[in-house]
């Protein structure tokens, strides 16, 4: 039976504490994963992020099927915390004019539409830069905004496949495997956030903004890491190694008598402690075929079998206690349920509950960044579709009620007036 963790109410940060990005205005045209992941980080640390969605359904992730609460999907809630949400129909001239008015006031614009969409709306960098020379404009795409592949649609698993990244995942005797979570999307979001912050630092020195681009394919290729670099050096195509890099017998999953563990015993010093202090098998360091890293690699199947036999002789908790005492890097091989209920998650206050207008409360996973002076803001759940439309028209753009009503009548906020906060 599944057991969800008991989620505490999140404590508030100190009143009046500064934030890293206080005063920064971000206009967010992104949807799905990479773009929203980028802008959520900016929002978490104090930027005001105004998320613009199509009134007809909004962000695609609102309809994702993983789970839902209060009418909102897990995917959407996980990527759009701390944002102000408005609904704009960019196919309507009045909707595009509202977007331009917002861009005039913005520090940052982020978009991840298909190639040519922002240009069609007159909202591409070349069109809006004259309105706001200090603007940092970030484009996220599969293959970049220029060159012969700019018009190709692409998603996380496609770029995993095409870059070579996917070929490194899985077991040697099986097919290439994509990562479960969309790791290239998430890493692209992080890279885009870095690019924006770099451009903002450059703006402080140079006095003007710039266009920055981040492509999923480029990020996926970079994430091949030292495997990619090794290929460039020796010309040998790297293979798949399952849970053990390069087939290492001392890194990977082993089975105790009652459950699995993951061990990363990656150097001679750790290996000696493992076989002598933990396993009580000094023969596994004294025997010539196991005496050096090179000979252990040459006899890795023999060594892996010997280690597996020892681990199978005792319980998981006994091995964990012995290995932690010897300072051997080791961990439980947990499911998501086990990981989210683990003491590390609890003691590090990774999970909480936060208020939500239709669900009463929703779960919250804390940002993975801690800052001593400018901590993350108190989390606010992802907005309902068009939740803050009227507020933004009034408070950010200074529109009066008559103008807002006229824009609604013209369809700028969709066929029906978008829901608004009071």
Give the catalytic positions in this structure: 185
Chain centroid offset of residue 415 CA: 33
Q: Which tokens in the block code for residue 45?
A: 């640390």
Please provide the DSSP assignment of 116-130 as one string. THHHHTT-SHHHHGG
Beta-bridge partners for 73: 68
User: Which of 259, 268, 275 is closest to 307 using CA atoms?
Assistant: 275
Which string of b and e fits 56-79 if b means at least 16 CB within 10 Å?
A: eebbebbebeeebbeebbbbbbbb
Q: Are 127 and 119 in contact (CB under 8 A)?
A: yes
H-only helix segments in 245-391: 268-273, 283-286, 293-298, 300-311, 316-325, 336-340, 343-347, 389-391
Decide: residue 35, CB within 10 A, 0-12 exposed, 13-18 middle, 19+ buried.
Answer: buried
CA angle 202, 208, 214 (to 5 degrees): 60
Q: At what angle do helices 34-44 and 183-206 cross, to 10 degrees?
A: 50
Q: Provide the total of helices (H) and of strands (E) in the chain, helices listed first.
A: 18, 13
Alpha carbon separation from 81 to 44, 333, 363 (Å, rounded): 7, 30, 11
CA distance readout (Å), 85 to 44, 249, 338: 15, 51, 34
CA distances 6 to 10, 337, 349, Å, are 12, 12, 12
Rg of the chain's alpha carbons, rounded to an integer?
Answer: 26
Over 183-215, what HEC string results? Answer: HHHHHHHHHHHHHHHHHHHHHHHHCCCCEEEEE
| 354 and 377 Cβ atoms separated by less than 8 Å | no
């Amino acid at each position: 039976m599944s057991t969800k963790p008991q989620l505490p109410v999140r404590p508030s940060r100190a009143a009046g504490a500064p934030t890293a990005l206080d005063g920064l205005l971000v206009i967010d045209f992104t949807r799905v994963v990479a773009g929203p992941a980028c802008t959520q980080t900016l929002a978490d640390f104090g930027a005001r992020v105004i998320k613009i969605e199509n009134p007809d359904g909004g962000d695609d992730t609102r309809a994702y099927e993983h789970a839902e609460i209060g009418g909102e999907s897990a995917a959407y809630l996980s990527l759009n915390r701390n944002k102000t949400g408005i609904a704009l129909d960019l196919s309507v001239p009045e909707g595009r004019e509202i977007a331009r008015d917002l861009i005039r006031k913005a520090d940052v614009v982020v978009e991840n539409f298909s190639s040519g969409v922002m240009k069609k709306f007159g909202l591409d960098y070349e069109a809006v830069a004259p309105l706001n020379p200090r603007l940092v404009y970030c484009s996220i795409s599969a293959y970049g905004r220029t060159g012969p592949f700019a018009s190709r649609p692409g998603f996380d698993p496609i770029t995993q496949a095409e870059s070579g990244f996917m070929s490194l995942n899985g077991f040697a005797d099986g097919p290439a495997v994509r990562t479960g979570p969309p790791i290239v999307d998430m890493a692209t979001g992080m890279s885009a956030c870095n690019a924006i912050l770099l451009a903002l630092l450059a703006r402080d020195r140079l006095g003007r903004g710039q266009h920055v681009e981040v492509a999923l394919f480029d990020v996926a290729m970079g994430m091949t890491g030292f495997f990619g670099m090794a290929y460039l050096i020796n010309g040998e195509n790297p293979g798949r190694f399952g849970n053990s890099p390069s087939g290492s017998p001392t890194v990977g999953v082993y089975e105790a008598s009652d459950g699995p563990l993951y061990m990363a015993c990656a150097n001679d010093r750790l290996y000696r402690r493992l076989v002598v202090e933990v396993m009580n098998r000094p023969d596994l360091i004294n025997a010539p075929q196991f005496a050096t890293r090179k000979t252990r690699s040459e006899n890795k199947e023999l060594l892996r079998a010997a280690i597996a036999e020892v681990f199978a002789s005792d319980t998981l908790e006994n091995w964990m206690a012995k290995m932690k005492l010897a300072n051997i890097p080791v961990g439980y091989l947990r499911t998501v349920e086990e990981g989210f209920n683990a003491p590390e998650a609890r003691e590090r206050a990774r999970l909480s509950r936060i208020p939500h207008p239709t669900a009463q409360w929703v779960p919250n996973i804390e940002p993975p960044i801690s800052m001593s002076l400018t901590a993350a803001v108190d989390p606010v759940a992802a907005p309902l579709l068009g939740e803050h439309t009227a507020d933004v028209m009034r408070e950010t753009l200074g529109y009066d009620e008559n103008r807002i009503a006229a824009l609604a009548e013209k369809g700028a906020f969709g066929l029906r007036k978008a829901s608004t906060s009071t």
